[in-house]
Amino acid sequence: EVQLVQSGGGLVQPGGSLRLSCAASGFTFSFYAMHWVRQAPGKGLEYVSAISTDGAGTYYVNSVRGRFTISRDNSKNTLYLQMGSLRAEDMAVYYCARYSNSAYDYWGQGTLVTVSS
Amino acid sequence: QSALTQPRSVSGSPGQSVTISCSGTRSDVGGHNYVSWYQQHPGKAPKLMIYDVSKRPSGVPDRFSGSKSGNTASLTISGLQTDDEADYYCCSYAGSYTWVFGGGTELTVL
């Protein structure tokens, strides 16, 4: 069974940092690109970042480029999102998602990031 | 990259059909056959319903179908059931390793 189990969310002050993790199981993690998608409270879904199978290619939505870093450890079957210089507008539920056949076929349970002083 | 345009809400009675539109540009919906649709119940993670415009993942009922014409994609749900009541999002590849979602449509089954 494919599972994506997320951890690392929480409360952080504006300007602070946080690292999200997404532990994968039930499939060959290194075969799939992985993405992060977020959803602000009461709002729609937004693509945040993507990473290639080997981690060599990383991509970001303009609003987080330079502040967020996506990475993966294929030996640990884990995806990460290092978030820095956090702003109020970054507050959201963050989902990791497996990217397959040009779509997000499996999603993590989501983790809430609250940015507030 | 602007969000794709979806109606804020649609509704239908059990057994009826509804169609949700997703309008974009030739840079996203019109330029790629990589449109997907997601169902999201309150407090839950999204679930893939349609990929590559019109393909259904295993386990998704054939009551769900997708199509595209020009810069607009559509999701049709036939034989509405109460459990179909949820938010629905379209998503398209927009080139240069960017992806864009629609604003979401709330489906109410009356």
Stated as kind and residue range, the H or E segment containing B54 is: none
Flag if A102 and B45 touch (Cβ within 8 Å): no
d(CA A51, CA A56): 8
The predicted pLDDT at position A43 comes to 95
pLDDT at B1 over 80: no
Minimum Cα–Cα distance from B58: chain A residue: A105
The predicted pLDDT at position B2 comes to 81
Flag if A47 and B36 touch (Cβ within 8 Å): no
The predicted pLDDT at position B108 comes to 98
Chain pair A-B, CB pairs under 8 angstroms = 60
pLDDT in tens, A20-64: 999 999 999 999 999 999 999 999 999 999 999 999 999 999 999
What confidence category does residue B57 fall into, taking pLDDT thresholds of 50, 70 and 90?
very high
Minimum Cα–Cα distance from B105: chain A residue: A44
Residues A37 and A97: beta-carbon distance below 8 Å: yes
d(CA A80, CA A72): 6
Residues B9 and A70: beta-carbon distance below 8 Å: no
pLDDT at A98 over 80: yes
pLDDT in tens, A59-94: 999 999 999 999 999 999 999 999 999 999 999 999
Flag if B38 and A104 touch (Cβ within 8 Å): yes
Flag if A103 and B3 touch (Cβ within 8 Å): no
The predicted pLDDT at position A89 comes to 97
Exposure of B20 by Cβ count < 10 A (0-12 exposed, 13-18 middle, 19+ buried)? buried
pLDDT at B45 over 90: yes
Of the candidates A109, A105, A114, the one whose C-alpha atom is nearest the C-alpha of residue A6 is A109
d(CA B34, CA B53): 6
Stated as kind and residue range, the H or E segment containing B12 is: strand B9-12
Flag if A45 and B48 touch (Cβ within 8 Å): no
Round the average pLDDT of chain B to a whole number and report it. 96
A41 touches chain B (CB under 8 A): no
Residues from chain A that touch B46, judged by Cβ atoms under 8 A, are 37, 45, 95, 104, 107
d(CA A48, CA A110): 14
